[in-house]
């Protein structure tokens, strides 16, 4: 009977696939201890999103976490992390000095193996990263990344392509200790898995440790694993309840059961594993579990979104009030993948795909190129498996003002003065921070948010916990509710002075009755032919092109909104007369807010919730604030940079600050000309949509 080796992915990929990698170290260490007691000796202990997320969300040091993991797991445990080729543990690619520093520091902090992949399967991105891992004294597990193409699509991602990629790795002389075939979206068919592993075994010989990694998102992972084992794989990746199945790897117990009565065994003490899972569930009982994390999604082959990214993206959509657009975005991914050159849907490629699909839905197909996606098709991260669509390359070049390149990405990074060791040192010196190897790497890989952590200005945010406190319900009622607003559903728990919305806590104050200041007139009757034009997403009103009483034709431009660093033109859905405008320039809106009404009875417009009449926007000169214009956050996010100070004079559309949301930078512009009277936020603040940023007077 053949013993099947496995790595326990629960404490890295499991966390990333369920909780967006946002888990406090102290909360899960008892589960690591329990897994060790159950006889598990090979753990995924960090890397991937579990490096940056500690600085971004839990306000912890990832190096301290790795040290503690080593202490609890024991000196004999094989602790493994995940590296993204020349991106190492960030979304942006790095030069050679930072790639080397990554390997040296992870060795220093208790890691013994690094699994190393490239989303493009560009072997040039594995040469230096693999060499530095080996030279640091770590075991190097080199990867070939896999996925199934959407039905009807062809190009790369077949056994011939994967065999060629492995041959290229061997021909390049990259030192390795094991080989992994990594299917982050869990979409490869069992037949392709079997044929690919069979070819790899023939190339590698019988002694090389051959690994297959997948997720259960599409529901075929156990079948994939058995196909891989029958073709010659030695090892698979497994997780533990409550972070197993669904977007994660299959559970250890599930795989144990699937192998019963076969020629394979995990050789585990099942009772001890069950006890470890009981302890782990207890450790994680206070964390909000997104429902999609535990589900099989049969449509994943149509939009190969990896388990480690799916819940992170759905949570960001929830945060931004855009979950109702999720199905549209995923439908758009097929076209984005095909025209992008078939990079494997694994970080960072998967994030580029999602961002571009998001833009295609929100702004129209290819009207706004996401920076990461555009740079990928232009060659700035390496060579894609097949050539991207020429028209998309042309559009990307025009919008990003970059020419296509065939130069090695790592060579480009070495020449980029904004990257590397010296750039990181300058960031640290500017804040008078200690120049240590760890701090240099944090600054290089996490940029401004790393500096926020190091200066002590970062805060815990985005960690979704259930309430631990048993308080009396607030006045007006308590308990749990499911509330649907604009077709978006929210799980709401009222606990004393807090409301937990989808696991996120907000301070609230509930009073009986309705205060006069909060009252609004009931809307007057609207004729049946009236058509409301609504905001497609949260954003800022930049310009209005119409006035009340104007006649418009279908598809005429009505106004322009700015959101997520891009302008969004709003067109008339029908022909008619503008009977009401509910917004003014500079207003910060949420998705589905009403912008204006076309048709209906001009004599009886719908009452606007604004306390004052809406002024028309003058085209020239730019409006100046007189009594003070509030600038508000267009969506939840983090304040990255503030470009002005109180007392500064600003022009209309001048840059005020930069927020980070949806893993993209969002520039906030002045809605009016005037003087900065108040700045209500500081760098590092975590904001909700409509929070006050500043006042221009």
CATH code at 271? 3.20.20.70
Note the pLDDT of residue 265.
97
Please indicate, yes or no, if residue 306 is contained in any of the structural domains: no
Please indicate, yes or no, if residue 469 is contained in any of the structural domains: no
Please indicate, yes or no, if residue 314 is contained in any of the structural domains: no
* Burial tier of 19 (Cβ tally within 10 Å: 0-12, 13-18, 19+): buried
Burial 350-373 (b: 16+ CB within 10 A, else e): bbbbbbbbbbbbbbeebebbbbbb
Note the pLDDT of residue 540.
72
Residue 55 DSSP class: I
User: From CA 107, how far away is CA 91, in angstroms rounded?
Assistant: 21
Burial 623-634 (b: 16+ CB within 10 A, else e): bebeeebbbbbb
Note the pLDDT of residue 530.
86
Q: Are residues 547 and 679 in the same domain?
A: no
Note the pLDDT of residue 334.
86
Q: What is the DSSP string of 188-235?
A: S-HHHHHHHHHHHHHHH-SSSEEEEE--STTS-HHHHHHHHHHHT--E
Please indicate, yes or no, if residue 452 is contained in any of the structural domains: no
Note the pLDDT of residue 505.
52
Q: Are residues 75 and 29 in the same domain?
A: yes
Q: Are residues 650 and 590 in the same domain?
A: no
Q: Are residues 670 and 522 in the same domain?
A: no
Choose the final residue of a domain: 300, 328, 362: 300
CA dihedral of 558, 329, 657, 640, whole degrees rounded to 10 = 170
Q: Are residues 579 and 646 in the same domain?
A: no
Please indicate, yes or no, if residue 308 is contained in any of the structural domains: no
Q: Identify any residues that bridge with 42 across adjacent strands, giving them in sequence order.
A: 78
Q: Are residues 571 and 690 in the same domain?
A: no
Residues whose CB is less than 8 angstroms from the CB of residue 360 and which lie 6 or more positions away in sequence, other chains included: 332, 335, 336, 366, 367
Q: Are residues 564 and 634 in the same domain?
A: no
Please indicate, yes or no, if residue 438 is contained in any of the structural domains: no
238 closest CA partner among 209, 272, 283, 268: 268
243 closest CA partner among 275, 187, 301, 283: 283
Residues whose CB is less than 8 angstroms from the CB of residue 144 and which lie 6 or more positions away in sequence, other chains included: 117, 121, 162, 165, 166, 169, 179, 180, 181, 182, 200
Write out residues in the chain with pLDDT < 50, as ranges: 468-478, 486-488, 516-528, 564-565, 601-622
Q: Which domain holds residue 161?
A: 2-300
Q: Are residues 58 and 142 in the same domain?
A: yes
Q: Are residues 657 and 566 in the same domain?
A: no
Three-state secondary-structure class, residue 314: helix
Name the domain count of the chain. Answer: 3
Phi, psi torsion values for 13, nearest 5 degrees? -65, -35
CA angle 9, 191, 6 (to 5 degrees): 20
658 closest CA partner among 678, 637, 679, 688: 637
Put residue 181 in one of left, alpha, beta given phi > 0 → left and psi -120 to 50 → alpha: beta
| Cβ pair 690, 633 in contact under 8 A | yes
Note the pLDDT of residue 467.
57
CA angle 620, 623, 624 (to 5 degrees): 140
Q: Are residues 566 and 659 in the same domain?
A: no
Note the pLDDT of residue 624.
53
CA angle 490, 495, 498 (to 5 degrees): 75
Choose the final residue of a domain: 300, 334, 369: 300
Note the pLDDT of residue 528.
40
Please indicate, yes or no, if residue 326 is contained in any of the structural domains: no
Q: Using the structure block, give the residue that is written with the tokens 């001890």.
A: 272
Please indicate, yes or no, if residue 537 is contained in any of the structural domains: yes
Q: Are residues 292 and 165 in the same domain?
A: yes
Choose the final residue of a domain: 248, 268, 300: 300
Residue 588's domain is classified under what CATH number?
A: 2.40.50.100
Q: Are residues 150 and 39 in the same domain?
A: yes
């Amino acid at each position: 009977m053949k013993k099947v080796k496995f790595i326990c992915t629960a404490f890295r990929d499991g966390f990333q696939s369920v909780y967006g990698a946002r888990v406090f170290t102290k909360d899960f260490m008892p589960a690591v201890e329990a897994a060790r007691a159950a006889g598990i000796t090979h753990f995924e202990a960090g890397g991937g999103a579990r490096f940056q997320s500690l600085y971004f969300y839990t306000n912890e040091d990832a190096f301290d976490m790795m040290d503690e993991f080593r202490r609890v797991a024991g000196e004999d445990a094989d602790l493994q992390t995940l590296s993204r080729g020349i991106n190492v543990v960030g979304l942006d690619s790095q030069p050679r000095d930072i790639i080397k520093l990554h390997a040296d520091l992870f060795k220093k902090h208790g890691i013994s193996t690094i699994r190393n992949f490239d989303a493009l399967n560009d072997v040039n991105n594995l040469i230096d990263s693999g060499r530095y891992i080996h030279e640091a004294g770590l075991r190097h597990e080199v990867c070939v990344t896999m996925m199934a193409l959407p039905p009807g699509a062809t190009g790369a991602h077949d056994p011939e392509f994967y065999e060629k990629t492995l041959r290229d790795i061997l021909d390049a002389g990259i030192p390795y200790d094991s080989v992994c075939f990594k299917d982050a979206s869990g979409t490869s068919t069992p037949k392709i898995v079997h044929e690919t592993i069979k070819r790899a075994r023939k190339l590698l010989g019988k002694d090389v440790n051959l690994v297959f990694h997948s997720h259960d998102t599409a529901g075929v992972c156990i079948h994939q694993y058995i196909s891989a084992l029958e073709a010659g794989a030695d090892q698979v990746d497994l997780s533990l309840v409550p972070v197993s199945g669904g977007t994660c790897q299959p559970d250890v117990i599930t795989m144990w059961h699937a192998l019963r009565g076969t020629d394979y065994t995990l050789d585990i003490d099942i009772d001890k594993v069950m006890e470890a899972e009981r302890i782990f569930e207890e450790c994680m009982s206070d964390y909000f579990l997104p429902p999609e994390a535990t589900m099989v999604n049969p449509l994943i082959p149509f939009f190969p979104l990896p388990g480690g990214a799916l819940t992170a993206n759905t949570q960001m959509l929830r945060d931004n009030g855009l979950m109702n657009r999720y199905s549209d975005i995923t439908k758009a991914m097929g076209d984005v993948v095909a025209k992008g050159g078939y990079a494997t849907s694994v970080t960072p490629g998967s994030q580029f795909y999602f961002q571009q699909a998001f833009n295609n839905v929100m702004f129209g197909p290819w009207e706004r190129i996401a920076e990461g996606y555009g740079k990928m098709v232009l060659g700035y991260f390496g060579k894609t498996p097949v050539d991207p669509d020429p028209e998309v390359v042309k559009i990307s070049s025009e919008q990003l003002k970059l020419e296509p390149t065939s130069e090695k990405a790592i060579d480009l990074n070495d020449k980029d003065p904004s990257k590397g060791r010296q750039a990181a040192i300058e960031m640290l010196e500017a804040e008078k921070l200690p120049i240590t190897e760890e701090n240099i790497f944090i600054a290089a890989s996490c940029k401004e948010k790393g500096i926020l952590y190091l200066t002590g200005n970062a805060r815990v945010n985005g960690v979704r916990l259930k309430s631990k406190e048993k308080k009396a319900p607030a006045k007006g009622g308590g308990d749990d509710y499911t509330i649907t607003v604009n077709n978006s559903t929210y799980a709401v728990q009222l606990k004393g002075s807090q409301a937990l919305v989808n696991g996120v806590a907000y301070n609230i104050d509930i009073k009986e009755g309705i205060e006069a200041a909060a009252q609004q007139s009931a809307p007057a009757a609207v004729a049946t032919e009236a058509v409301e034009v609504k905001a497609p997403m949260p954003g800022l009103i930049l310009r209005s092109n119409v006035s009340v009483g104007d006649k418009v034709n279908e598809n005429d431009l009505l106004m322009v909104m700015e959101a997520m660093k891009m302008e969004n033109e709003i067109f008339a859905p029908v022909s008619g007369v503008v009977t009401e405008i509910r917004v003014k320039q500079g207003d910060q809106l949420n998705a589905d807010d009403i912008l204006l009404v076309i048709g209906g009875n001009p004599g009886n417009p719908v009452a606007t919730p604004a306390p004052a009449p809406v002024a028309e926007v003058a085209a020239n000169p730019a409006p100046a604030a007189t009594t003070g214009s509030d600038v508000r956050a267009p969506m939840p996010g983090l304040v990255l940079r503030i470009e002005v100070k109180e007392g500064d004079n600003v022009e209309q559309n001048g840059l005020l600050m930069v927020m980070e949301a949806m893993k993209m930078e969002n520039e906030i512009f002045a809605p009016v000309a005037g003087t900065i009277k108040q700045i209500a936020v500081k760098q590092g603040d975590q904001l909700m949509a409509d929070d006050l940023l500043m006042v221009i007077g």
